[in-house]
Amino acid sequence: MKKLLFRPALLAIFLLALAACGPKWEAVQADGYQRIEQRGGATLGVVSAPILEQNGYAFKDLNRNGALDPYEDWRKPAGERARDLAAQLSIEEIAGLMLYSSHQAVPSPELTESQQKFLADDNLRHVLVTTVASPEVAARWNNNVQAFVEERGHGIPANNSSDPRNETAVTAEYNAGAGGQISLWPTPLGLAATFDPDLVRTFGDIASKEYRALGIATALSPQIDLATEPRWNRFVGTFGEDPDLDVDMARAYVDGFQTTEGARNGWGAESVNAMVKHWPSGGPEEGGRDAHFNYGKYAVYPGNGFADHLRAFVEGAFRLDGRTRSATAVMPYYTISTGIDPSGKNAGNSYSQYIIGTLLRDQYKFDGVVCTDWGITHDNARIESFDGKCWGMETLSVPERHFAVIQAGVDQFGGNNDKGPILEAYRMWCDAYGEESARARFEQSAVRLLMNIFRTGLFENPYVDPAAATALVGNPSFMRQGYDAQLKSVVLLKNHESVLPQIPDQDGQDGRRKVYVPKRHYPAFAGRFGIFGAHPDYWDWPVDRKLVEQYYEWADTPAEADFALVMIQEPYSGVGYDVKDRDKGGNGYVPISLQYLPYTADYARAESLGGGDPKESFTNRSYRGKTVTTDNVDDLSCVIDTRKAMGDKPVVVVVSATRPFVPAEFEPYADAILTAFGVQHQAILDLVSGAAEPSGLLPMQLPEDMRTVEEQCEDVPHDMRCYQDADGHRYDFAFGLDWNGVIDDARTRKYRKN
């Protein structure tokens, strides 16, 4: 018998072949789950699913059938996996995918009874997370959710999501998770004021890392509505009124959130699906009233500007620079886009076969997830109530509304935890078009929804490391970058005779300069929607004294101060509807004022462009000739009184703004004016003291008066007469000052309109 001899080269090949036949993975005990690390393969996270091995690689047997199904094979493309799984699901499971939970706070790692119910009984897999006790608690809660669903059905992971949470404060339900232990950035309007898409791309990159560490894989953002209506109280969540800037910011934001650097197709463990909102833009609300309420349900287009409102979607979010190519999800707004549907039908956007089917799906070829805004299929009890928002479909039953939404081309129902109405809608489809058609339509939505779970790698590893979350979320580097963005977002509107900066030890005086900060009146306040952020009436200093004393000596009276720092809010007069007016025999509709002094709407249109509701006996929602007062008129008094008390000494006014305002009432009394869009007080003091130089630009026009506000078209950008101050500066879009005067740089040359 001959001996079998191996040459060195053949021996190496043989040993490699032997190694290829052996396992290429090892299991590591992580915090609450097993992490399976693979050479040349996907990292898996598992608690209860059996492990299958093929060619030395590990796979999760999520449906526990003992075979490797295509959807369990991480080597296959996401589309193939989604189609395989969708075909296996029951209609009850698909109905669960089509649900999106109501807002869920996370005070502890444990699941509540209601959460267990909608995950187990209703098969819900998309959860909206608001406040969390800490990054560690959020991570552990996510892991408990994922372990709970891993052992059920086909083992579909939860796709947890969040509204914006990186702002410095919570302002309403749409960013109820903001201001916590996370990096703090300006509001979207403040990001727009930087005029820097690269900065927004960096924000998205950082925020997505923080989201994934918390167990969040979908962002219900960015809000890319074109904010052409200055009175709208969601103006602050947008990138302002300019279509070109909106396009660039939308693209940068989505690229930042969705892209994992180094990943072959852009998708990876740091990717977060971006659900852009609100198609086809909620910006042109008639009179500035908001569609969270019946009284604001009509969007109007008196200037024929509808096409401009689509641009941020079709040129920005759907046309990315990065490899993920397009935003993966879209949320329509509550509004009825008045007069847009050629058929003449007027219904909320999610119900509109023209808005969703013809435009979004057919014309613009969007095949991602479309998810309704929250609560659109619920009943609406009163014109002023914050409940259901079934605009245009008030007379239909709840299941009929679900059926109409699915017919329009929508995949998912925001704020719905109950699969029952979706199953009834399925039966309606079967009755109308046949069971084969119904199954195909529901599978189509299932594939879209599953794609976003597969792309982000949740089927492989939905678990996160609580210790890593604590270390990463809000770490010093991220906080520094967020703070730098805050500094860049503040706009210097006025700097008469260069009174700023007020350098703490300037002019060679003994000791530091002294500043007088007047107390501010905080009136009883019901919040932006009349319900969120409420607080009682009180007086207090608008900034912490200890923080101020890090820069200046605190002066108790104007007489001993070197300068005054007056901190105020933009005017707030209400939501555009007043039950008292209705009870007195009026129609209930009143103006929204952007000035502090009482305002009478003499120049408002006599006939509203939108109107009509089963609960109203009229269609004209005009408020012409009516008068409103401003809740915070004392802010104006504070500026004027401080000017009188200070004499010739400088008065610096800081306006915290969420939308445009009329500067005419207080500008003459201020030597310097800074406008801030959701920043920490330290950022203001760094700018006032000269530790940083302002570089922000107005992302909107500031109107000359309320007449121009009434006469502008809700759907048209840049159509107001702008206020001109005592120094001859016009507060137009892209205006801003630095220490040398009016800013003229690459940003203004690219975006400024005149």
How far is the C-alpha of 632 from the C-alpha of 234, rounded, in Å?
Answer: 19
pLDDT of residue 3: 35
Residue 70's contacts (CB-CB under 8 Å, 6 or more residues apart) are 76, 80, 81, 84
Instruction: Give the pairing type, strands 520-522 and 538-540.
Output: antiparallel
CB 515 within 8 A of CB 563: yes
Going by pLDDT thresholds of 50, 70 and 90, the confidence category of residue 19 is very low
The two three-digit tokens of residue 209, written as one number: 């890392």
Determine the average pLDDT of the residues in 295-314. Answer: 98
Going by pLDDT thresholds of 50, 70 and 90, the confidence category of residue 174 is confident
Secondary structure class of 191 (helix, strand, coil): helix
**pLDDT tops 70 at residue 745:** yes
Report the range of poorest mean pLDDT among 119-133, 170-184, 679-693, 731-745: 170-184
pLDDT of residue 506: 76
Question: CB-based burial of residue 754 (10 Å sphere; 0-12 exposed, 13-18 middle, 19+ buried)?
Answer: exposed
Q: What type of residue sits at position 695?
A: S
Which domains are present in the chain? 497-573+630-751 (3.40.50.1700)
pLDDT of residue 527: 58
Residues involved in catalysis: 242, 373
> Between 176 and 634, where is the model more confident?
634
> Between 637 and 2, where is the model more confident?
637
CB 348 within 8 A of CB 391: yes
User: What count of other Cβ atoms lies within 10 Å of the Cβ of residue 584?
Assistant: 9
Q: How far lies 736's CA from each of 305, 491, 684, 701, in Å?
A: 27, 6, 16, 12
Residue 621's contacts (CB-CB under 8 Å, 6 or more residues apart) are 286, 287, 295, 298, 587, 589, 608, 610, 611
Going by pLDDT thresholds of 50, 70 and 90, the confidence category of residue 210 is very high
**pLDDT tops 80 at residue 12:** no
The two three-digit tokens of residue 427, written as one number: 């039966």
pTM: 0.95
